[in-house]
Amino acid sequence: MTKSIRITNASGRDGSAQFISPKRDAPISLGIPGHSILFHRYLSSTETGRGEVLTKSLGDDYAQALIDGDPEIDIEHVGRSIGETNIVFLTSKGEFLHSPPKIIEVITGPDGGEKERRDPIDVESNVDEERPIRWTGRKVPIADAVRRFMFRRSLQVTHVDGVTYDFLHAMAKELAADRTLMLVGGGAKGSEPLVFQANGRPCRGFLEGRVDGEKYQLMLHLSDMELKRPVSVKEN
């Protein structure tokens, strides 16, 4: 995936760039060397094997019935190979929904407790060719960042011409020399989290620079979770 963006440096100057997904190592091969593995899906149960259905027909204590007669197994269907599937929504009674359900957004606190329920709010993307990703000036040592933040994704920022090569190489060189990550953000002051697509997940952005002579690598690490030590509860 390649997307054109704008990004600022420490002086506030912005330039065009692109981000791409970094190359990944080839996955480890499973199975016997020289032989490929094929994965298949098979039907394990049908509607008649649901716990609610068995309770209605056999009562709450149907363990012995399962041992004696296997009533949960539909001989005609269980074990059949499954091809393409479609997602369907069910009501609390197990019936098909023929119209889209109403989506409710549940807001939870750090302790996991529910704080608020509301209708979903549309979130606009703020990463594109017009609104730059802004260099905030806040540096975080790499050793601290890997302990404070949960990084869910990394992107590589690349140049589009010779001018932006010098622009990005200088940024990567500065960060590599300090062994730090630079916090970047969206909006006019860089104080907003980065949102790459409409209604996407807001993330903090951290730039990391790696330099080897004329070669450079400028990585944008994305985090949506900060790790904090739980507050100890005082014993009464």
Say what the pLDDT of residue 236 is.
47
Close Cβ partners of 142 (under 8 Å, ≥ 6 residues apart): 179, 180, 181, 208
Report whether 90 contacts 98 (CB < 8 A).
no
> In sequence order, what DSSP letters do the residues of the chain get, joined into one string?
-EEEEEEE-TTS-EEEEEEEPPP-PPPPPPSSTT------EE----GGGSHHHHHHHH-S--HHHHHHH-TT--TTTTT-EE-------B-TTSPBPSSPPPP-EEEE-TTS-EEEEE---------SSSSPBEEEEEEEEHHHHHHHEEEEEEEEEE-SSHHHHHHHHHHHHHHHHHTEEEEEEBSSSS-BPB--STT---BEEEEEEEEETTEEEEEEEEEEEE--PPPPPPP-
Identity (one letter) of the amino acid at 178? Answer: D
CATH code of the domain containing 152: 2.40.290.10
Residues 13, 57, single domain; the answer is: no
Q: Mark the ranges of the chain whose per-residue pLDDT is less than 50.
A: 233, 235-236
Residues 137, 221, single domain; the answer is: yes
Domain count, the chain: 2
d(CA 48, CA 55): 11
Residues 138, 219, single domain; the answer is: yes
Say what the pLDDT of residue 56 is.
85
Q: Looking at the domain assignment, is residue 233 inside a domain?
A: no
Residue 95: name the closest of 50, 126, 61 by CA: 50
d(CA 45, CA 194): 43
Say what the pLDDT of residue 59 is.
85
d(CA 178, CA 145): 14
Radius of gyration of the chain from its Cα atoms, rounded to whole angstroms: 26
Q: Looking at the domain assignment, is residue 96 inside a domain?
A: no
Report whether 213 contacts 226 (CB < 8 A).
no
Q: Looking at the domain assignment, is residue 196 inside a domain?
A: yes
Q: Enter the pTM of the model.
A: 0.70
Residues 127, 166, single domain; the answer is: yes
Residues 130, 211, single domain; the answer is: yes
Residue 48: give the domain boundaries: 44-78
Say what the pLDDT of residue 203 is.
94
Say what the pLDDT of residue 1 is.
61
